[in-house]
Amino acid sequence: MTDNSQNSQASLAEIHYPFAEVESRWQQHWEEEQTFATPVAPGADKYYVLEMFPYPSGRLHMGHCRVYSIGDALARFLRMNGKKVLHPMGFDAFGLPAENAAILHKVHPSQWTERCIDDMKAQFKMMGFSLDWDREAVTCRPDYYHWNQWLFLKMMERGLVYKKAAAINWCVSCNTVLANEQVEQGACWRCKNPVEVKNLEQWFFKITDYAEQLLADLDKLNDWPESVKTMQRNWIGRSEGAVVRFKLLPKEFAPGMPVDDAQTSQLPDVEIFTTRPDTLFGVTFMVFAPEHPRVTELVEGTPRDAEVKAYVQKAKQEDRFLRTAADREKEGCFIGRYAVNPLNGDVVPIYIANFVLMEYGTGAIMAVPAHDQRDFEFATKYDIPVRMVIAPPDDADAIAGSDEARAQASAALKAAYVEPGVMVGSGAFNGRPSEEAKGAIAEYLEERGFGKRTIQFKLRDWLISRQRFWGTPIPIVYCPACGTVPVAESDLPIRLPENAVFSGSGNPLAAVDEFVNAKCPKCAGPARRETDTMDTFVDSSWYFLRYCDPHNTSLPFSRENGDAWMAVDQYIGGIEHAILHLLYARFFTKVLRDLGLVDCDEPFERLLAQGMVTNTFVDKATGQNAVDENGLLKYAKMSKSLGNGVDPIDIIKRYGADTARLFILFASPAEKELEWNENGVDGCSRFLNRVWRLALMLEPQVRKVLSTGENLSDGVSAGAADEATREMIFMTHRTLQRVAVEIGERHHFNTAIAAVMEFQNALYSYVTKSGEAADPKVTTFALRVLLLSLFPFAPHIASELWRVSGFTGRLDDQRYPAHNPSALVRSEVEVVLQVNGKIRSKIMVSAEATDEQLREAALADEKVQATLAGREPKKVIVVKGRLVNLVG
RNA sequence: GCCGGAGUGGCGGAAUGGCAGACGCAGAGGACUCAAAAUCCUCCGAGGUCACACUCGUGUGGGUUCGAAUCCCACCUCCGGCACCA
């Protein structure tokens, strides 16, 4: 414990607070006292603060420090406001790094991971985060992944799990398949290496069953950043339109020949999806995706057979991400077959082309070159007619003109007209607005059995198989007699073997005979176990629910405990998970709700997407710090490759955890980038030292005031004598109010800290300038407020000064006081005087002054009179207590 | 190309219709010291002035308003996301 008598002998200026000793002592205290244990029976006051759990790399980095500092400030503040806070932590512990380490260091991924977790937990504790470690969830432990497997089986029962062969994304470097969401610009989200297309049989979760809900419920998420919601909307990609059936003409058909209805009705129709039924009269050709399964059958035995198959081959070989890039030139070939437009009986040729995707809609399109830019480019290249059927609303000639004139206009088009307009050349629909015709034509088709209104999504099912060891084993057995059989619930968990060999080639799981050889759950005959493991995003899709009931051995969590804490009131994490994790977690929550496990539609009520931590970096070419064209230092995300990372542990050792936390929260708003700046860190350290010295300076008088045992007044009723004291009381309550609003309502930690700093400055000048005249009761209350408002950001120093100053109880148990509104009422206020909107003067007036009095006072002001120069103002605007504007 | 966000001192940033630049950093001057560090005090948008006064100033141009960093329109720049989804 610090000996204060020693301090008083040294010059105050020499004192720097002993953060290392103070911080470790409080951390130990918190652990021993289990200060952060989650309250039981939370009821209506529950508040669930959650930060995205980390991958246990073994080293805490600055990005982690930022998320957890944000969450911790909130958690501590909410506890002070009487909330029953759940603030848990765990580890997203499956994944490739541990497996790679296993290959490199010949250590089992489990040992490696557990060691990293121990290291990271120690580092977490050094930051002083108020986490309930008793609820820790570690996804790589059987007591967690047991429930991944259980949920897999439950989802299977509901038809939400299936296995199918599909063209999938294969990451060569990670040696595994990836889900659609996990491919970014043709590259693996994790290792950034290019992704290949393979055809494999894989396990999928039927997330598309929930597409409509996942989209619609985004509207409920009022406290999510607009950008994240937009990204999810785009990813789900809902389009309304119609599936339209075109009659296929026989192989022998050639243009000019009569269409034999009896013959065509024998052939299977060609189905296309369109969002533009209004352009149906403008169809001049159709296009299939090259890999469309019907293409082979359509050309079989025709003269074009070889040519078409050669093109299909070529298209299949081309890199898929190059082929489907938006700027790729459109190309394809005619397949020699024709179809009939159901609306007008037109015969149109069928092509295959690189720009049509098999995975979307029906894998075939109707092409309307006049009104779709892609179709237009293709038609131009292959000399296919362009037929305008929608005229710009202001183009009277096109609307009223003859067919010939329109044909000429069509031929002259330089680009597709994609805007809404007026229907032309469309028979009975002519003259109607195209937006209205969309529905009318779809209805017309539906009535005659030529089509059906439908909704398409871009969202695909979630591919969850991974050909890797370090993940949750998929609880499936392949039996030669019974086929694909789910493992019995009572046999869970299917554990990862301890004796796998990590050679670096192939999935080690497949090489462990004891694992692979299984008994069929149905017939008890010999069977083979599935050796694929689950995508690690499965683990993180429901961990927030496990925290609600972490020790449950019979269920992933009980309904009672889930309902007691869910939804997460405030979720905090990086924007990089805007689609991946946040979409999967929303999907899981809805599935769990439908399984009757929890009563909650959306997992995360409020979302705070925190910005990256950046730093200056050395330009490898010049060997100097990278600068922009103006010579200003450039900042980039802290990373290994740029060598610009700052180790949080190093900062803790040099400045202490409180300084690190304070700087991280002060330097920038939470959702923006944080530019690392050593000088800024220094500034925060100086501030905490000033608080320390101020508290030591006040300690004798504070102890004296506290020793009277009187109830510490909030200063208001005291009716302070002098101006400085009244101002001090005002500042104290104003700070209480500002900090509460900034943290509690706006989550603006930077301005909350600025308010605390201002308050510290004010208290310091009050006690130094007033000297003996300073009211000890007022300073005692002010110090109390200073420590309370500092506590969420810098809990160690605040706790220590609370104790040292002689305040009773633990700071952890204190309530954050409500400000007293009457303390914020001032008898005199400064009013700004404007003439024609320009500030000319400022005057002090009674806060109660009426509009008329303010007007009089303004007109009486010398400077105002000088500016008006005798003119009479035409109009006077009075904003009570703030300003008077004289217009004249 | 489409969608989303942002442009404010030397720097990070405050102010969401009413005093632009809170708070912090950097910088300048001073006090303490033999000196330095630490600490404390003062100044710190630009022009202008001995000092005031005054003028200009929130990416650019227009608009609404008594009054605009803030609201509306157009444009420019930067950041992020998506990208032939029919």
DSSP A381-426: HHT------EE-TT-HHHHHS-HHHHHHHHHH-SS---S--EE-S-
The reported pLDDT for the residue numbered A712 is 66
Q: Which nucleotide has the shortest C1'-to-CA distance from A754? A: B23
Q: Is the CB of A682 under 7 A from strand B?
A: yes
ipTM value, please give it.
Answer: 0.95
Beta bridge partners of A248: A339
The reported pLDDT for the residue numbered A8 is 41
The reported pLDDT for the residue numbered A6 is 39
What's the Rg (C-alpha) of chain A? 35
Measured from Cα to the C1' atom, the residue closest to B23 is A754
Tell me, in Å, how far CA of A752 is from C1' of B71?
27
Range with the lowest mean pLDDT among A140-144, A356-360, A475-479, A557-561? A356-360
For residue A604, is pLDDT > 60? yes
Q: Is the CB of A826 under 7 A from strand B?
A: no
Tell me, in Å, how far CA of A748 is from C1' of B58?
21
Residue A696 contacts residue A778 (beta carbons within 8 Å): no
What's the average model confidence in pLDDT over A621-632? Answer: 77
Range with the lowest mean pLDDT among A62-71, A598-607, A704-713? A704-713
Sign of CA dihedral A570, A575, A580, A583: positive
d(CA A105, CA A99): 10
Q: Is the CB of A669 under 7 A from strand B?
A: yes
Provide the token pair at A859. Answer: 């007109």
What's the average model confidence in pLDDT over A466-479? Answer: 94
Per residue in A535-545, pLDDT tens?
Answer: 999 999 999 99
Tell me, in Å, how far CA of A439 is from C1' of B85?
21
- The three state secondary structure string of A169-197 is EEECCCCEEECHHHEECCEECCCCCEEEE
Average pLDDT, chain A: 90
Q: What percent of chain A has pLDDT over 70?
A: 97
d(CA A465, CA A247): 40
Identity (one letter) of the amino acid at A602? E
d(CA A697, CA A780): 12
Beta bridge partners of A366: A286
Tell me, in Å, how far CA of A615 is from C1' of B1?
33
The reported pLDDT for the residue numbered A10 is 52
Provide the token pair at A186. Answer: 């043709």
What's the average model confidence in pLDDT over A125-136? Answer: 96
The reported pLDDT for the residue numbered A3 is 39
Q: Is the CB of A81 under 7 A from strand B?
A: no
The reported pLDDT for the residue numbered A127 is 97
Tell me, in Å, how far CA of A231 is from C1' of B2?
12
Residue A649 contacts residue A126 (beta carbons within 8 Å): yes
The reported pLDDT for the residue numbered A402 is 84
Element (H, E) at A573: strand A568-574
Provide the token pair at A578. Answer: 């805007």
Q: Is the CB of A172 under 7 A from strand B?
A: no
Measured from Cα to the C1' atom, the residue closest to B54 is A840
Q: Is the CB of A371 under 7 A from strand B?
A: no
Tell me which range, A14-23, A87-96, A846-855, is most confidently predicted by mean pLDDT.
A87-96
Residue A176 contacts residue A100 (beta carbons within 8 Å): no
Q: Is the CB of A842 under 7 A from strand B?
A: yes
The reported pLDDT for the residue numbered A191 is 81
The reported pLDDT for the residue numbered A193 is 82
Per residue in A52-105, pLDDT tens?
Answer: 999 999 999 999 999 999 999 999 999 999 999 999 999 999 998 898 888 888
Beta-carbon count within 10 A of A187 CB: 17
Q: Is the CB of A13 under 7 A from strand B?
A: yes
Q: Is the CB of A830 under 7 A from strand B?
A: yes
Per residue in A285-309, pLDDT tens?
Answer: 999 999 899 999 899 888 899 999 9
Tell me, in Å, how far CA of A683 is from C1' of B32?
22
Strands in A517-519's sheet, in edge-to-edge order, are: A483-486, A476-479, A526-529, A517-519
Higher pLDDT, A148 or A324: A148
The reported pLDDT for the residue numbered A564 is 96
Tell me, in Å, how far CA of A291 is from C1' of B50?
86
Give SS3 for A68.
Answer: helix
> Which residues in 743-782 of chain A line strand B, with CB less than 7 A from it?
748, 750-751, 753-754, 757-758, 761, 764-765, 768
Range with the lowest mean pLDDT among A455-459, A481-485, A839-843? A839-843
d(CA A689, CA A698): 14
Measured from Cα to the C1' atom, the residue closest to B38 is A14
User: With bands split at pLDDT 50, 70 and 90, how would you rate the model's confidence at A340?
Assistant: very high
The reported pLDDT for the residue numbered A691 is 96
CB-proximal positions of chain B, under 7 Å: 1, 3-5, 11-15, 18-20, 22-26, 37-41, 54-55, 66-68, 80-86
The reported pLDDT for the residue numbered A7 is 40
d(CA A486, CA A180): 26
The reported pLDDT for the residue numbered A5 is 38
Place of tokens 């398409």: A456
User: With bands split at pLDDT 50, 70 and 90, how would you rate the model's confidence at A713?
Assistant: low
> Which residues in 700-739 of chain A line strand B, with CB less than 7 A from it?
none
Tell me, in Å, how far CA of A840 is from C1' of B49?
19
Tell me, in Å, how far CA of A420 is from C1' of B75?
25
**C-alpha distances out from residue A627 to A549, A640, A645, A673, Å:** 51, 19, 18, 18
Contacts of A770 (CB under 8 A, 6+ apart): A722, A724, A725
> Which residues in 211-270 of chain A line strand B, with CB less than 7 A from it?
226-227, 230-231, 234-235, 237, 239, 241
Q: Which nucleotide has the shortest C1'-to-CA distance from A372? A: B86
Tell me, in Å, how far CA of A607 is from C1' of B64?
35
Tell me, in Å, how far CA of A178 is from C1' of B25?
45
Tell me, in Å, how far CA of A679 is from C1' of B60?
35
Range with the lowest mean pLDDT among A166-170, A839-843, A863-867? A863-867
What's the average model confidence in pLDDT over A422-428? Answer: 90
Measured from Cα to the C1' atom, the residue closest to B84 is A326
Q: Is the CB of A173 under 7 A from strand B?
A: no
The reported pLDDT for the residue numbered A622 is 80
The reported pLDDT for the residue numbered A41 is 79
> Which residues in 86-145 of chain A line strand B, with CB less than 7 A from it?
none
Per residue in A373-391, pLDDT tens?
Answer: 999 999 999 999 999 999 8
Contacts of A64 (CB under 8 A, 6+ apart): A54, A648
Beta bridge partners of A533: A466, A473
Measured from Cα to the C1' atom, the residue closest to B10 is A632
Q: H helices within A656-794, ranges in order?
A: 657-666, 678-707, 723-740, 749-770, 776-790
Q: Is the CB of A361 under 7 A from strand B?
A: yes
Q: Is the CB of A627 under 7 A from strand B?
A: no
Q: Which nucleotide has the shortest C1'-to-CA distance from A275? A: B86
What's the average model confidence in pLDDT over A702-716? Answer: 78
Tell me, in Å, how far CA of A195 is from C1' of B53?
70
Beta-carbon count within 10 A of A773 CB: 12
Q: Is the CB of A401 under 7 A from strand B?
A: no
Is-cis flag, bond preceding A393, omega within 30?
no
Beta bridge partners of A239: A456
What's the average model confidence in pLDDT over A507-516? Answer: 92
Q: Is the CB of A684 under 7 A from strand B?
A: yes
Tell me, in Å, how far CA of A229 is from C1' of B75?
28
Q: Which nucleotide has the shortest C1'-to-CA distance from A229? A: B4
Q: Is the CB of A372 under 7 A from strand B?
A: yes
What's the average model confidence in pLDDT over A423-436? Answer: 90
Tell me, in Å, how far CA of A804 is from C1' of B34?
37
d(CA A262, CA A422): 36
Q: Which nucleotide has the shortest C1'-to-CA distance from A879? A: B18
User: With bands split at pLDDT 50, 70 and 90, how would you rate the model's confidence at A720?
Assistant: low
Place of tokens 């017939």: A523
For residue A271, is pLDDT > 60? yes
